[in-house]
């Protein structure tokens, strides 16, 4: 989904749905158990009246506690909404895109029953979020179900989403949206996941270009420009900062008369 706290967040970042399950305020019934070998069962959390149910991953340590499924029912048992999250455990890669070796100190203290894989450096991505909503037909009372899925297709070695697709209305593929992001990663400076290009296309990677944006960054990772493809060229906004990282001046794209608007922050 990467999170960048700066002006370009809304302009360039792909919003990747990420949900963390919270127990409901009403009394809960819980199911599931774990043993001492590190093998876990799913944990179900239900409201006492049965209105809401949450299922958490509890079968392996890496994914433990992540929300797998959440549903909301009416008093008559009618399911109004259901969300299903799919996760993937991925290895952290080195500069040659090879998985890092297991941590040596971890191998020395490895618990019985666990393999070397338990000592590998890994991270978790949420690969897809599927939402199902239902409403009764006002005429027949039949259940009308709509499904919506957002799927992340590729990640870089830092966990940034490179490609994703939003399937929108499941009744048609005409509104599917594909997005591709390019990042600047300056690992030596601890500046990771700076989005420099965003392309959004209709349906798939070769679809018609719907929108495109580019960004550039300064030596401290500050966003210095945002360029938007208007179809006739690039409209670029320039940003300037003080020594503390505050925006002190912005220069808007030029209009047809080659004029720009400058906004200054008074000290």
Per-residue model confidence as pLDDT tens digits over 126-165: 999 999 998 877 888 777 888 999 999 999 988 899 999 9
Whether residue 225 is contained in a domain is answered as no
Pair 235, 198 in one domain? no
The model's confidence at residue 34, banded by pLDDT at 50, 70 and 90, is: very low
pLDDT at 19 over 50: no
Q: Measured between alpha carbons, how far is 43 from 65 in angstroms, rounded to an integer? A: 8
Q: What angle do CA 158, 162, 168 make, to 5 degrees?
A: 135
Shared domain for 261 and 165, answered yes or no, is no
Check whether residue 156 and residue 256 sit in a common domain. Answer: no
| Helix (H) and strand (E) counts in the chain | 2, 15
Express each pLDDT in 179-221 by its tens digit.
Answer: 999 999 998 999 999 999 999 999 999 999 999 999 999 999 9
Q: Does the pLDDT at position 2 exceed 90?
A: no
Rounded (10°) CA dihedral 108, 110, 116, 122: -100
- pLDDT for the residue numbered 267: 67
Q: Is residue 223 part of a domain?
A: no
Spatial separation of the C-alpha atoms in residues 132 and 178, rounded to whole Å = 21
State residue 214's pLDDT score. 96
d(CA 60, CA 38): 7
| Residue located via tokens 């998985």 | 99
pLDDT at 84: 95
Is residue 238 domain-shared with residue 212, that is, in the same domain? no
Structurally, the chain folds into a number of domains equal to 2
Residue 3 lies in a domain: no
Judge whether residue 256 has pLDDT over 60.
yes
Please report where in the chains the tokens 């320039």 appear, as a residue.
Answer: 238
Residue 263 within any structural domain of the chain: yes
Residues 75 and 207 in one domain: yes
* Predicted confidence band of residue 18 (pLDDT cuts 50, 70, 90): very low
Instruction: Indicate whether 207 and 241 sit together in one domain.
Output: no
Question: Would you say 260 and 253 are in contact if contact means Cβ atoms under 8 Å apart?
Answer: yes
Q: Token pair for residue 137?
A: 């037909």
pLDDT, mean of residues 60-66: 83
CA atoms of 92 and 137, how far apart (whole Å): 48
C-alpha atoms less than 13 angstroms from C-alpha of 59 in its C-beta half-sphere: 8
Q: Tell how strand 262-264 and strand 247-251 pair up.
A: antiparallel
Q: How confident is the model at residue 176 (pLDDT cuts 50, 70, 90)?
A: very high
Q: Which residue has the tokens 């399937």?
A: 167
Q: Domain of 133?
A: 9-216
């Amino acid at each position: 989904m990467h999170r960048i706290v700066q002006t370009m967040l809304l302009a360039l970042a792909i919003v990747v749905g990420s949900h963390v399950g919270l127990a409901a305020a009403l009394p809960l019934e819980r199911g599931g158990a774990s043993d001492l070998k590190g093998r876990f069962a799913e944990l179900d959390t239900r409201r006492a009246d049965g209105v809401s149910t949450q299922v958490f991953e509890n079968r392996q340590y890496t994914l433990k506690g992540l929300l797998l499924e959440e549903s909301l029912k009416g008093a008559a048992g009618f399911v109004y909404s259901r969300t299903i999250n799919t996760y993937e455990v991925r290895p952290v890669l080195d500069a040659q895109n090879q998985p890092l070796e297991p941590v040596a100190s971890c191998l020395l203290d490895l618990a019985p029953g666990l393999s070397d894989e338990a000592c590998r450096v890994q991270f978790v991505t949420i690969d897809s979020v599927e939402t199902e909503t239902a409403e009764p037909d006002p005429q027949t009372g039949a259940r009308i179900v709509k499904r919506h899925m957002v799927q992340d297709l590729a990640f870089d070695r830092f966990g940034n989403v490179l490609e994703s697709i939003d399937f929108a209305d499941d009744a048609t593929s005409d509104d599917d949206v594909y997005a591709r992001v390019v990042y600047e990663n300056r690992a030596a400076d601890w500046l990771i996941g700076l989005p420099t290009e965003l392309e959004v296309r209709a349906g798939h990677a070769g679809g018609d270009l719907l929108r495109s944006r580019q960004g550039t960054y300064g030596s401290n990772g500050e966003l210095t420009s945002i360029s938007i493809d208007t179809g006739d060229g690039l409209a670029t906004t320039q940003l300037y900062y003080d020594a503390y990282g505050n925006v002190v001046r912005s220069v808007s794209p030029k209009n047809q008369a080659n004029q720009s608007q400058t906004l200054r922050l008074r000290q």
